Every structure is written in C-alpha cells, then in structure tokens.
Structure 1
C-alpha cells in the first residue's frame, strides 16, 4: 500500500519505520522538504511536498501538530484528498501559562478535518498514546486497546489492516463509532498527561476491560 505520512516529527518517523518495515511504500510529506531532508536520509525514505506525497498515496496519514493540521492538509489540496482514506492521529493543543489546553475543546480535530475535506474518508486512531507505543511489542499490544472513529466502514477496514501491520491484533482494536466519537479519543489527552506525570514516562497504553471479558472488548 502507498502511504503518505504528512509530518516528520516523532509520530511520523515512528510510523514510517514500522510500515516500511512490513513492506508498505511510504513517503514523507513536509511543508519544507529541503529543511527536513535529514529525516528522509535517516529513515531511507523519500521526502516530498505535502501535495506531492498525498497525490500518489492510497492512504494519507495526518501526523502534523494538531493546531496546524487543517492548514497543512490544505497544502495537499481538497482535490487530492477526495476519496482517500485520511488517517488522523493528531491532537491539537497549546501550552498556556496555566498548562495544557486543547485547541478543540468543544469538538475534535477529526471532525474539523472531515468538515474541511468532506470527500475524504477520515478515521481517527492512535491518538491516545505516545509515538513510542504506536508500534508496540506483542505483549503490550495484546493487553492494550487502540480506538477507531469514523463514518466510513471501508476506510475503517483499511485502517484496521494498517493497525494490524503495526502489531495491534484485531482483539485490541475497538471501533467507537462515527467521527464525532473522536472527541473522546482527543479529550483523553488530559488524562494522558496526568498519568504520564504520575508514572514519569510517556510510554504506556490503556486497556478496556468489561465484566467477565478479561480484556479489550471488540465490536
């Protein structure tokens, strides 16, 4: 599968390594490819403008800073994103004097992206964990839950396959429903920060346990 990873930060690099390692054709998209050519060299992967990366891709992955995501995706062009699976991982936030503040307190970035690009097929996932846990070792993946939100069933099926390729078994994948449920994934960021501070690490995951299930419940 041809995957365009828009964003060259920790998330983009972690996912690029993992998907390329299992045989996907990965290209990194950047607003300034020349300035980020060291990342392409580090990963041994091609680097292109946001539009050029998205044009040839089957799947576009938004791994950009959430407060800037819509503007950066506009650089790809709505015409390029039409009909494509657009996997959104970002959470928009700013660091104010009084602490961490979400930029989408009343909705979700996933919803904003779907509204901005109505013909794209947006799926929200992997936004409840740090980049260091997105391609987890098998034991961690089996005992964790990764969520999906989106309105398009076929786009979710593609995303499920990509999650499996990262190491997430089907049993750990939980479909939360339509894109509006992305609010729950993104607003979890407040609890994520608190847990990270309590543990002294960002490398952890969460697990949904139901009565009598002993593990993540799959829908």
Structure 2
C-alpha cells in the first residue's frame, strides 16, 4: 500500500519505519521538501504531491497546526482518501485546543470528502508501533464515520502488531473526542512514571 505521512518528525519517521518494514511504500510530506532531501530512507515530497501519491494519508503534524496545514493543501485534494489522524491538539501548557470537539472531528469537517479515522494517539508512538514491547496486552482505539476506512486502518494496525481483539472501535468520528481527552490523563501518567505504558479495556 502507498502511504503518505504528512510530517517529518519523530512520530512520522517512527510510523514510516514500522510500516515500511511491513512492506508498505512510504512518502513523507513536507512544507519544505528541498531542505529534507537525503535525510530519510523515504522520498520527501511537497504536501500536495504527497497527498496525490497515496490513498492513505497520515496526519503526523503538531496537532495545533494540523488544520492549517491540511486546509492549505485544499480540501478537494483529499476526496475519497483515508486520512489517519494520530495527533493530539494541545497548547504548550498541555491544554486541549478543541475542548468541545476534537482534532479528528475538526479535520473531518474541514475535509468533508475525506474519510478521517482517529487512532494511535493514546500512548507513546514507540509503544503504539510495537505493542509487544509491553509486558501485557493493551488496547488501541479507532474512531471514524466510514467503515471501509476503518477496515483499512485495522489492517495497518495489524501490521504494527495489534491483535484484532485489542482494537477497540469507539464509533463515529465524534467519538474521537474521548480518545483526545485522554491526553490529559496520559500526560499526567507520563509525569508520574515515564512513557512506556498503555491502557487496556477490560470487560
């Protein structure tokens, strides 16, 4: 599968390495691709070219800048594409930027012809790309309005090592608010004991 990851930071390159290892073709999208040339094992393209190159687009930009970056590309460019939003929109003081909504919902509203799926935002990315690094089983969440897009995301989560019964479907994109609200507790837990942990839904 061709996957374009918008961003070139730690989250983007961590995901790129894991999905590339699983056999996917990765393109990184940058606002200044010339300055990134030769720095990565993957091609770096302009934002518009990266979106055009793939049917699956990953938002790995800083959450507070994501909407501006994605709308600058043009909403029509995303028509029919699956947009995987892994970012948390928080201020430098770790307050939620969208306290009455979520970044996933705002992106879906801004890109109405895209199929936005929220996932991979409730643990450190090093844990999310390698769930076996923890001593026990844990959970990962998906939210989105399009069932086909969520099926695609489940497959990509499986490529990262997530068992199907560890993937919790929260429902439509409106439910992304819950996953993003968890960022407040996640940050407190990091401060209390470091980032190498996750949570598990137990019934």
TM-score tier by shorter-chain length is: over 0.9
Cα displacement (A) at 1:70: 1.1
Equivalent residue for 1:216? none
Moved over 6 A (4+): none
Matches of 1:53 and 1:74, distance apart in 2: 14
Equivalent residue for 1:162? 156
CA contact (8 A) 2:131 2:137 kept: no
User: Which deviations, in whole Å up to 9, do the C-alpha atoms of 1:106-137 show, x marking residues without a partner?
Assistant: 10000000000001000000110112112115
CA contact (8 A) 1:29 1:48 kept: yes
**Quick check: 165-174 or 28-37, which moved more?**
28-37
CA contact (8 A) 1:142 1:171 kept: no
The answer to whether the aligner puts 1:60 opposite 2:49 as a matched pair is no
Matches of 2:135 and 2:148, distance apart in 1: 23
Cα displacement (A) at 1:25: 0.7
Match for 1:205 among 180, 198, 202?
198
TM-score, structure 1 normalization: 0.89
CA contact (8 A) 1:123 1:155 kept: yes
The 1:149–1:141 alpha-carbon spacing in structure 2 relative to 1, beyond 3 Å, is farther
Equivalent residue for 1:75? 72
Equivalent residue for 1:25? 25
**Secondary structure of 1:175's aligned partner:** strand
Matches of 1:159 and 1:185, distance apart in 2: 16
User: Which deviations, in whole Å up to 9, do the C-alpha atoms of 1:69-107 show, x marking residues without a partner?
Assistant: 0111123322220010000011111123xxx21111110
**Secondary structure of 2:29's aligned partner:** strand
User: What's the RMSD between the two structures over aligned residues?
Assistant: 1.4
Mark the runs of 5 or more structure 2 residues left unpaired by the alignment.
Answer: none
For this pair of structures, how many residues does the alignment match? Answer: 203
CA contact (8 A) 1:148 1:176 kept: yes
Equivalent residue runs for 1:28-177 within 5 Å = 28-37=28-37, 39-40=39-40, 44-96=41-93, 100-138=94-132, 140=134, 143-177=137-171
Matches of 1:137 and 1:175, distance apart in 2: 17
Equivalent residue for 1:189? 183
**Secondary structure of 2:134's aligned partner:** helix
TM-score, structure 2 normalization: 0.96
**Secondary structure of 2:92's aligned partner:** strand
